[in-house]
Structure 1
Amino acid sequence: MGGGEVPHGFPVPNPTISYWQSPPHPIASHRTTSILPTTTTFDYIIIGSGVSGAAVAYKLLHRDPTLSILMLEARTAASAASGRNGGHCRAGWWLNFKEYAAAFGEDEAIKFEQLEEQNVLDIANFVHEHNVECDFQDVETSDTYYTEEAWTELLEVIRLREKAYRRRSDVKPLINRSIWHGQNAREHLGLPNILGTVTYPAHTQNPYLLVCRMLELSLEKGLNLQTNTLALAVHPVSATCEGTEKWAVQTERGTVRAKEVVLATNAYTNALHRGIADTGFLDPSRSQVTSLRPEHDMSRHPAAQHKSIGLNDRGSGDYMMIRAPGLKGAGDVIYGGGRGVSPTREMGVTDDSTINPKIEEYLKQSAPEVFSRQAWGEKSTEVRDWSGITCYTPDTFPLVGEVPGENGLWASVGMNGHGMAMAFRSAEALVTMMTTGKEPVWFPKSFRIERAWKKPKMDVRPEGATLGPVAVL
C-alpha cells in the first residue's frame, strides 16, 4: 500500500504471514497495468481478491469473456482471511439445523444445508476441472464432542434433521454422515477424551493457492488485477452523456470508475461503506491459528487418516487438520480456535499484523492435550503462528445482493469464518442476480442483504461466533 497511516478498520500493512503464504504466489503483487486505469469506465469493479471476489470475477468472465473487470486489492492477492484460514473445506454448519429451523423454518434450514453441501462439491469440481495445484485432499472430516450435554444436543439435532428430510420427498442430503459413540469414536479418531463424533466426506487444501488459481484463470480472460491498491471510498457519480458511468471508487492511487461495483470486502466492509456500518450488522473479529510439528511421527495416528477435525465443544470451538504424507510439511498439525481465552473474544479487532499471546499459548497447549502426550511426545516444533480478520453477522449468514437504494452496488460479505463453505455458492447467486435480475430458486432468503436494515430473527452475537460448529478462519 502507499505511504501514510491506514484509516481505522481498513486492512493494515504487513499482516502476519500464514502457513499457506510461504512462499508468496507469483501473482501476489500483480498489477495488470503499471498505471491505474483512471480514464476507463469498466463494466465492474470488484473490491477484494479473496475467495468471494475471485469467484465473482471468475463466474462473470466465464459467462461473458468480453466484460471489462477491474479488481482492487488493498494488500497482496488473497491476503485476507481466504489466504490465512485453517485449510478445511467442509460443510459443518448442518449442526445448526435446529436453530435455523426455529428461526427461519424447515424449508430455509434445508435450503441452507443444500447450499453449504453444494458449495463444497462445487469447489471440489472446480479444483478437478482446472487441475488446481492446492494440496487438495479428499478426507473424512469429523465433528467431535467432549461433554454429555453437547453430545446429547447434537443427537437431538440429528433426529430433528432426519424427520425434516423424511417430510420432504423432493430433496435429500448431498453428503452422508456416520455417528460414532463412546469407545468406538475414541478408537476411530484416536482421541482419548471424546464422547462421540459424526464423520462425513470433506476436503483439506491450501486455500491461498486455490484462490490465487481462480485469479489466474480470470487474468487469462482479461481481468485487470491491481494489488497494493487500497480502496478508500465508493460513491455514485453523475452519468456521462452516454449514460454509462455510475460508480467511482477512490483509491490511494487515483479514482477509478465502473457501471457496477461489487464489495467482496468481508470484515473491512464497515470501513468502506457507512450505510452498511450504520446497521451494526457486521462485526469484524480476529481469529488465530498455529502450526506445530509433534515430537512423534503422527503419520500412523488414526486422526492422521481423517485429517480434518472440529472439536466443537472444547475451548472456543477448536479445529485442526494434519498435513498428509507427500505434502510440504507432512505431519504438521494446523490448530485453530481459542478465541474464548480473550475477554473480548477478539471482537472489533481488524489488525492481523499481530497475534494474541494468550491465544497462542492456549493453542500450543491444546494440540498435545487433544492427542495425548503419549501420542504427541513431550516437545513440539513451532512452525508458524498467524492471525486473520473474519466477519460475523447476528444470524451467522452472509449478506448477498444489491445494497438497498444503491442501484449497481453489490455485496457478498460477512462469511462468519465459514467462507470456504458459503462464498463460492454465494458468488454464483450474486452473479445470477447481477446478470439476470433474479435470485436463483436455491438461494436462501436468509442470505438477503436487505435484512441488515431490519431486526434479525436470530442473534448469537454475545458469543461472537457460530452456534454449534467450529468457525474456521
Structure 2
Amino acid sequence: MSFVADVLTDPSIPASARQQAINRIYSDPGVPQQSSTSSFWLKTPRAFEPNGPGLPRTVDVVIIGSGITGASIAHSLLDNAAPPSILMLEARSICSGATGRNGGHILETADEYSELADLFGVEDAKKIMRFRLAHLGETLAVAEELGIAEESQARKVQFLSVYFGEEPWQAALERLRRFKEDMPEEAAEWTSFEGDAIPKHFHLDRARGIVAGPAGALWPYKFVTGVLAHLREKYPDKFRIEERTPVTKIHELGYPALPYKVETDRGVIYARHVIHCTNAHVGHLVPGLLGRIFPVRGQMSAQTPGNLFPNQGNDHSWIFNYDRGFDYLTQLPEGQMMLGGGFAQGEHGGLADLGVPTDSDLSMYIDIHLSGALPAIFGRKDWGFVSGDPIQAMWTGSMAFTSDGFPWVGQLPESATGRSIGKERGCEWISAAFGGEGMVQAWLCGKALATMLLAQDGKLDQGTDSDLEWFPKQLLSSKERLDATRLPQEVSDTPHRASL
C-alpha cells in the first residue's frame, strides 16, 4: 500500500496526472473485457464442458470468479458433511484473470513484520505473519492431496531476496534481525549472505547482500484448474462451473430461502448466498467499495535464459530490490524465466497503472525494463547468449489493492452493496484484494470465508474450528472498516494511510 500512497502524494508528479489516477480508482471497473494480452500460463487451456444445458434456476451459493480464491472457497464448502450446491460463474474463460496471470510465486519475505508490529503490536503482527507463512505448506499439501503436484509443478524452493545498495541492505538486515528475534521458530530457515560470502553458484556478483528463506513456486493456472476439475469429478451434483457468463447485476428480493437474484447475459439464478471473488472488478457489483478496493495493472514475462545460466527452477526463486521498486522471478523446471514487476519503472513511477482494470495492453516502459533486466542482474559473462526469441511472452493482469493494505474477507455490510441482509437469510460475501500477494493470502482467506458461511448456516462439521482464532482481524469485512478506509478523492501532497 505504501507505494500507492507514495505516487499519489509525490509532488514531483504533475497534480493532473495524480488526479486522473484517483478518478480511475473511483471509477466503475466494469466486468472483465474479452480482449486481453496472452498469458504464458494459459497457453494450454483446460476444457470445462458445461455440466448441463443452460443455467440452474436455483442454487445455494453463487461464487463470482474462478481464480485461486474461488477454488479455495469451493474446495472448503464441498469438503463438508452437508455441502451446499455451488455455481461458479466466470466472465471469461476459467482462471483467466489475476491468478492465471501472476508470477506463480509462493513467497513471504517477512519484510513487513517490523512495520506490522509497530502498527498493530507484536501479537497481531505474529498472527499476520503466521497466516501468510502457512500458505506454502497449505498449497503444497493441497496439491499432493489432490494428485496435482506434478501437473502444477508445485515445489518448495529457497527464495533469494537480493539487494544492490548499502543503505537498503542494512535496512533489510535490521528487519531480518527483528523477525528472527520475535519469531525464532518461524524464522528458522531464514539466513543472510553478504559480500564475499555470497555463494558463487548464485551468479549474483553485483549483489551487496541477500536474505534467503523458504518459498514455493508453481504453475498457478494448472493448480487452480486442477482443483476445480477434481471438485467437478467428486461432486457432480453439487458443483457447476459456467464460463463466459459475466454477472451484470444483483437484486435483493427479500425471500428468506433465496434472497438474491443474480443476473447474467445468459439468464438469472436465484441464490441464498453470493460470494464476490472478482478482485480488481469487485467495485462493479459492490459500488460501496470504490475508493477502498481498486485495480492496479501489473506486468509479467516468460523469458528464455542465456545458454550459460544453470537451471535453478527446483532450487531458487528471486526478489530483486532496487532503489525504486522490485522485480520477482521464478524459473520453471523446463527452464523458462518467469519475471514480473517493473512497476516503479512505469510511467510516472507506476502512477499510470493505478486504477487500470484491463489486461489488454502493455506498458512500454515496463516492457523495456523487464526485457533487459536478467543479463544485467546475473552478469553477461554468466548469462551467455539466448538461442531463439528471448521474450517468449509478455502480458499484463489486474491486481486489486486496498486503501489500508489488507484483503477484504467476510460478510459485506449493506452500505457496501446497497442491498439489505438479515440474520435468518443468506448474505453477500467477499474475499478479494490481495495487493499482488495472492499466493500467500488467497487460499486461506477462502478457507476462512467458507467457514464463516457454513457457521452462519449451521452446517459446520462437528469439531471444526469456527472461531477462526488463526485468522487476522485486520482482514475482516465490516461497516466500521468501510467507514474508516476511504481514499481521498482530491489530490493531496500529504501521505495517507487508512486505519482500522
TM-score by length of 2: 0.82
Quick one: which amino acid aligns to residue 403 of structure 1?
Answer: L
Structure 2 residues not aligned, in runs of 5+: 1-27, 415-419, 422-426, 457-465
1:337 aligns with 2:341: yes
Quick one: which amino acid aligns to residue 275 of structure 1?
Answer: G
List per-residue Cα deviations over 1:123-158 (Å, max 9, x = no partner). Answer: 010011111020122211121111222111112112
Quick one: which amino acid aligns to residue 178 of structure 2?
Answer: L
Quote the Cα distance in structure 2 between the aligned partners of 1:457 and 1:271.
17
In the TM superposition, 1:193-212 aligns within 5 A as 193-212=206-225
List per-residue Cα deviations over 1:374-432 (Å, max 9, x = no partner). Answer: 12235562211111100111332200010123531110010111111111111111111
Q: Who is 1:149 aligned against? A: 167
Alpha-carbon deviation of 1:458? 12
* 8 A Cα contact 1:147 1:195, kept in partner: yes
Quick one: which amino acid aligns to residue 26 of structure 1?
Answer: A
Match of 1:349, SS state, is coil
Q: Who is 1:177 aligned against? A: 190
Q: Pick closer, same or farther for the CA change 1:179–1:188 going to 2, 3 Å.
A: farther
Q: Who is 2:367 aligned against? A: 360
Quote the Cα distance in structure 2 between the aligned partners of 1:432 and 1:224.
20
Q: Who is 1:471 aligned against? A: none
Q: Percent identity?
A: 29
Q: Who is 1:100 aligned against? A: 116
1:122 aligns with 2:124: no
Task: Give the alignment partner of residue 43 of structure 2, picking from 22, 25, 45.
Answer: 22
Q: Who is 1:3 aligned against? A: none
Quick one: which amino acid aligns to residue 158 of structure 2?
Answer: E
Q: Pick closer, same or farther for the CA change 1:276–1:263 going to 2, 3 Å.
A: same
* 8 A Cα contact 1:298 1:331, kept in partner: no
Quote the Cα distance in structure 2 between the aligned partners of 1:152 and 1:141.
19
1:447 aligns with 2:475: yes
Q: Pick closer, same or farther for the CA change 1:455–1:188 going to 2, 3 Å.
A: farther
Alpha-carbon deviation of 1:65? 5.7
1:290 aligns with 2:297: no
Q: Who is 1:384 aligned against? A: 393
Q: Who is 2:88 aligned against? A: 71
**Over 4 Å off, 4+ runs:** 456-459
In the TM superposition, 1:300-315 aligns within 5 A as 306-313=315-322, 315=324
Q: Pick closer, same or farther for the CA change 1:457–1:310 going to 2, 3 Å.
A: farther
Task: Give the alignment partner of residue 269 of structure 2, picking from 246, 253, 256.
Answer: 256
Alpha-carbon deviation of 1:66? 4.1
Q: Pick closer, same or farther for the CA change 1:165–1:322 going to 2, 3 Å.
A: closer
Say which is worse superposed, 361-370 or 449-458, in terms of deviation. 449-458
Q: Pick closer, same or farther for the CA change 1:271–1:258 going to 2, 3 Å.
A: same
Quote the Cα distance in structure 2 between the aligned partners of 1:206 and 1:72.
22
List per-residue Cα deviations over 1:8-45 (Å, max 9, x = no partner). Answer: 53211022221111111122xx42223122x22x1100
Match of 2:353, SS state, is coil
Match of 1:63, SS state, is coil
Quote the Cα distance in structure 1 between the aligned partners of 2:51 and 2:60.
17
Quote the Cα distance in structure 2 between the aligned partners of 1:321 and 1:162.
25
Task: Give the alignment partner of residue 236 of structure 1, picking from 252, 256, 276.
Answer: 252
Quote the Cα distance in structure 1 between the aligned partners of 2:187 and 2:266.
46
* 8 A Cα contact 1:175 1:201, kept in partner: no
1:43 aligns with 2:60: yes
Alpha-carbon deviation of 1:219? 1.2
Quote the Cα distance in structure 2 between the aligned partners of 1:439 and 1:410.
17
Quote the Cα distance in structure 1 between the aligned partners of 2:486 and 2:180.
24
Quote the Cα distance in structure 1 between the aligned partners of 2:323 and 2:101.
22
Quote the Cα distance in structure 1 between the aligned partners of 2:195 and 2:382.
20
Structure 1 residues not aligned, in runs of 5+: 1-6, 167-171, 325-329, 468-473
In the TM superposition, 1:414-429 aligns within 5 A as 414-429=433-448
* 8 A Cα contact 1:145 1:314, kept in partner: no
Quote the Cα distance in structure 2 between the aligned partners of 1:322 and 1:162.
28
* 8 A Cα contact 1:319 1:335, kept in partner: yes
Q: Who is 1:269 aligned against? A: 282
Quick one: which amino acid aligns to residue 164 of structure 2?
Answer: Y
* 8 A Cα contact 1:75 1:228, kept in partner: yes
Quote the Cα distance in structure 1 between the aligned partners of 2:408 and 2:470.
16
1:111 aligns with 2:140: no
**Superposition CA RMSD, Å:** 2.4
Match of 2:395, SS state, is strand
Quick one: which amino acid aligns to residue 142 of structure 1?
Answer: L
Quick one: which amino acid aligns to residue 286 of structure 1?
Answer: R
Say which is worse superposed, 383-392 or 176-185, in terms of deviation. 176-185
List per-residue Cα deviations over 1:279-322 (Å, max 9, x = no partner). Answer: x111201100111113414226xx55633101133652101112
Quick one: which amino acid aligns to residue 309 of structure 1?
Answer: W
Aligned residues: 435
TM-score by length of 1: 0.86
Q: Pick closer, same or farther for the CA change 1:355–1:65 going to 2, 3 Å.
A: farther
Quote the Cα distance in structure 2 between the aligned partners of 1:8 and 1:114.
33
Q: Who is 1:410 aligned against? A: 429
Quick one: which amino acid aligns to residue 71 of structure 1?
Answer: M
List per-residue Cα deviations over 1:141-200 (Å, max 9, x = no partner). Answer: 12111122211111211222233337xxxxx41762111122222635211211111212
